[in-house]
C-alpha cells in the first residue's frame, strides 16, 4: 500500500480508471471521490472506481494522503485555492492534466507549508469521457510523465511514481516547459487537426455535398479524437497557447510544402515526403 486514502477530484475517464486500477493493485487502501453530480459519483461507487464520495470539497480532502486533480486544467487553480486550507500536513497533491509549464509553479505556490505538489500526466485516454468509459487497464504500458521543479522532494516524487508504476505505467521525468512543447506536437496538434478537419466538413460549400455520408475508415480513424471532451480540450489549447501556436506554425509550413508539391507538375517531391512520413509513423509506439 502506497497511500492510505486517495481523493480523486473529478471521477471521469482518467480519475475513474485510476481509482479502479489503484484499488485492484492494492496501491491505496481507500479511494474517495469528489464531484458536482451525485448521480455520476454514485455510479462510480457501483463500478468500484471509488469507495465513497463527498459533494463538499473540505470533507473530501480532509483525511487524504494523496489528492489527484482529474478535472479540466482550467479548474486547477480555483480547486487548489479551495482545498488548500483543508489539507493535513504531509498530503501530496498531484494532477493528470495535459498542460504543465508555468501552471506547475502556480499550483506549487498555492500549497500550504508541508504539503507537496507533483505535476503528473498519464499519456493515456480514450475518445469517450465520463466514469462509464473508465477501465482498470487504461494505464497498462502507458507513459506517465512527472514534471518536477526545484521545489520537488525526491521522496515525494518516488512515492507518486510508485503509484503510477503500480497501475502499470512507465514513469519518466521531464521539465514542465519541455513537457508542453513535446505534448503540443504529439498530442495537442493532432487534436487540433482532427477538430479543424471536422470544422472544414461543416463549411457551407462542403456540407452541401454531404461528404460524411460517404466516409469510411479513413475519416473515422483519423478524427476519432474529435469526440473527446470539448471542455477539456478548450482548456488545454488555451493553457498551452504558446506551444500550440508554435506547433500550428510548423504544421502550416508543412501544409504549404505539400500544397506546393501538389501544384507542381507530377508532384516531384510528394513520393519522398510520403515515404518519410511512413518511416516516422512506423517508429511510433503502439501504446
- Domains belonging to the chain, first-starting first, are 3-174 (3.40.50.720), 178-283 (1.10.3660.10)
Q: What integer pLDDT is reported at residue 287 of this predicted model?
A: 62
d(CA 126, CA 102) in angstroms, rounded, equals: 26
Closest-CA residue to 130 (of 187, 182, 218, 71): 71
d(CA 79, CA 63) in angstroms, rounded, equals: 17
Closest-CA residue to 9 (of 78, 75, 67, 96): 67
Q: What integer pLDDT is reported at residue 176 of this predicted model?
A: 97
d(CA 189, CA 187) in angstroms, rounded, equals: 6
Contact 71, 77 (CB under 8 A): no
Q: Environment class of residue 178 by beta-carbon count within 10 Å: exposed (0-12), middle (13-18) or buried (19+)? A: middle
Please report, in tens digits, the pLDDT of each residue of the chain (287 residues total).
899 999 999 999 999 999 999 999 999 999 999 998 898 999 999 999 999 999 999 999 999 999 999 999 999 999 999 999 999 999 999 999 999 999 999 999 999 999 999 999 999 877 677 898 889 999 999 999 999 999 999 999 999 999 999 999 999 999 999 999 999 999 999 999 999 999 999 999 999 999 998 888 889 988 999 988 899 899 999 999 999 999 999 999 999 999 999 998 887 899 999 999 999 999 887 66
Helix, strand and coil percent figures for the chain, each rounded to 5? 55, 15, 30
Closest-CA residue to 186 (of 284, 72, 71): 284
**Cell numbers standing for residue 31:** 479511494
Q: List 120's β-bridge partners, or say none.
A: 146
Amino acid at each position: 500500500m502506497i497511500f492510505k486514502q486517495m481523493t480523486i477530484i473529478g471521477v471521469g475517464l482518467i480519475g475513474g480508471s485510476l481509482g479502479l486500477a489503484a484499488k485492484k493493485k492494492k496501491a491505496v487502501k481507500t479511494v474517495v471521490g469528489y464531484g458536482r453530480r451525485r448521480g455520476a459519483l454514485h455510479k462510480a461507487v457501483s463500478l468500484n472506481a471509488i469507495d465513497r464520495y463527498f459533494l463538499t470539497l473540505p470533507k473530501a480532502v480532509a483525511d487524504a494522503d494523496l489528492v489527484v486533480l482529474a478535472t479540466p486544467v482550467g479548474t486547477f487553480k480555483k480547486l487548489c485555492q479551495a482545498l488548500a486550507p483543508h489539507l493535513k500536513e504531509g498530503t501530496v497533491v498531484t494532477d493528470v492534466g495535459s498542460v504543465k509549464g508555468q501552471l506547475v509553479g502556480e499550483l506549487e505556490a498555492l500549497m500550504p507549508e508541508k504539503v507537496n505538489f507533483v505535476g503528473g500526466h498519464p499519456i493515456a485516454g480514450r475518445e469517450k469521457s465520463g466514469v462509464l468509459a473508465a477501465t482498470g487497464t487504461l494505464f497498462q504500458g502507458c507513459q506517465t510523465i512527472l514534471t518536477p521543479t526545484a521545489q520537488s522532494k525526491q521522496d515525494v516524487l518516488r512515492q507518486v511514481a510508485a503509484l503510477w508504476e503500480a497501475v502499470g505505467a512507465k514513469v519518466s521525468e521531464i521539465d514542465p516547459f519541455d513537457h508542453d512543447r513535446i505534448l503540443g506536437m504529439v498530442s495537442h496538434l493532432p487534436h487540433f487537426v482532427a477538430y479543424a478537419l471536422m470544422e472544414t466538413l461543416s463549411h457551407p460549400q462542403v456540407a452541401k455535398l454531404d461528404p460524411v455520408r460517404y466516409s469510411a475508415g479513413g475519416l473515422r480513424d483519423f478524427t476519432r479524437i474529435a469526440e473527446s471532451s470539448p471542455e477539456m480540450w478548450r482548456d488545454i489549447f488555451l493553457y498551452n497557447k504558446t506551444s500550440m501556436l508554435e506547433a500550428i506554425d510548423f504544421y502550416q509550413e508543412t501544409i504549404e510544402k505539400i500544397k506546393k508539391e501538389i501544384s507542381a507538375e507530377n508532384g516531384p517531391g510528394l513520393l519522398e515526403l510520403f515515404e518519410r512520413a511512413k518511416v516516422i509513423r512506423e517508429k511510433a509506439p503502439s501504446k
